[in-house]
Amino acid sequence: TKVFDSGLGISLFRDNSTRTRFSFASACNLLGLEVQDLDEGKSQIAHGETVRETANMISFMADVIGIRDDMYIGKGNAYMHEVSDAVKEGHEDGVLEQRPTLVNLQCDIDHPTQIMADAAHIIKEFGGVENLKGKKLAMTWAYSPSYGKPLSVPQGAIGLFTRLGMEVVLAHPEGYEVMPEVEEIAKKQAEACGGSFRKTNDMKDAFKDADIVYPKSWAPFGAMEKRTKLYGDNDHEGIKALEKVLLEENGKHKDWACTEEMMSLTKDGKALYLHCLPADITGVSCEEGEVDATVFDRYRVPLYKEASYKPYVIAAMIFLSKFKNPVETLKELERKGTDRVQP
């Protein structure tokens, strides 16, 4: 599968990562690219270098740039567009021989590589994408002892699965809304694709007869907007006060957890449980969290398989963006029949 003889895959992570970081590295290696991580603290970015200059300077031999920037509402996706525009300009001006592909490894709006890995997993579990039509998927908030989890996973889920004709339910306590623009997209896509999209403030309602459940904590959209402004104003006291309020609010909803009782409400009590990982597991990683240990352990192997799709999702994104005739290129690779590990 090594379709590149040389070249770089540049990664920039502005938030912590395990699965996505190693998935990006694995995808680049699979295709023949060497990975170089951009450490902003050790570059001239720390001394005021512009985004346009940095993007061009790192891209002379780069075929792909992967960015994770998910912590601040209104910032991450905008930064990715700024980088993309900069390398497009560099290519048009003759500075860059090729325009690097930009892969969104999670922003403030979406987590496309994760959600497509989720989709690959459920397609496999249900025997084909055509079998997803009419299936009920519950994307629900779940309690966590931490407060600042991004909105990108629930937003990505309702953004993609409504395109597959599924019955998508978004459930959360009052006040834990996601971005309204994403909800509107989900509604329009559901109407266009023969599925449905609705919201509820009742977790049991969402789990009732669900084929798939995705209980995952996230911070309220309004609070994340406020948090972004406080960080921009360098208001440390304001940030501490907001954290206190949000943790107290989270604590009011500890009953929003994926328990055995909750799972019994799903279709035949055997809904497919999804999570982007790491999950807050009650009695394991925290005292009280998103999911009971018995539920998580029962789905541990499928969850790990779910995560295993991500390197291939990222590799496919890079591959499809760089080759004009991807089908023919794949056929040629198949004809060669070279094993990754030689006996």
Q: Does 1 fall in a domain?
A: no
- Give the Cα separation of 275 and 297 in Å (integer): 13
Domain that holds residue 276: 112-307
Distance, CA of 152 to CA of 278 (rounded, Å): 15
Q: Note whether 167 and 233 are same-domain residues.
A: yes
* pTM, two decimal places: 0.94
Ranges of beta strands (E only) in the chain are: 8-13, 34-37, 62-69, 101-107, 136-140, 167-171, 196-200, 212-215, 272-273, 281-282, 291-292
Specify the CATH number for the domain of residue 46: 3.40.50.1370
**So what's the pLDDT on residue 44?**
80
176, 291: one domain: yes
Measure CA 166 to chain center. 19
Q: What is the mean pLDDT of each run of 10 residues along the chain (343 residues)?
A: 92 95 97 95 80 95 97 95 98 96 98 98 98 98 94 98 98 98 98 98 99 98 95 95 95 98 98 98 98 98 98 98 93 84 71
Phi and psi angles of residue 60, each rounded to the nearest 5 degrees, phi first: -60, -40
Q: In total, how many domains does the chain have?
A: 2
144 and 228 belong to one structural domain: yes
170 contact partners, CB below 8 Å, separation of at least 6: 139, 140, 154, 158, 178, 183, 186, 197, 198, 199, 200, 206
Of the candidates 161, 72, 144, the residue with the CA atom closest to the CA atom of residue 108: 72
Same domain flag for 61 and 133 = no
**3-state secondary structure labels for all residues of 19-81:** HHHHHHHHHHHHHCCEEEECCHHHCHHHHCCCHHHHHHHCCCCEEEEEEEECCCCCCHHHHHH
Quote the pLDDT of residue 337. 79
Identify the pLDDT of residue 340.
74
Q: Nearest to residue 20, comparing CAs of 340, 309, 252?
A: 309
Phi-psi region of 277 (alpha: psi -120 to 50; beta: other; left: phi over 0): left
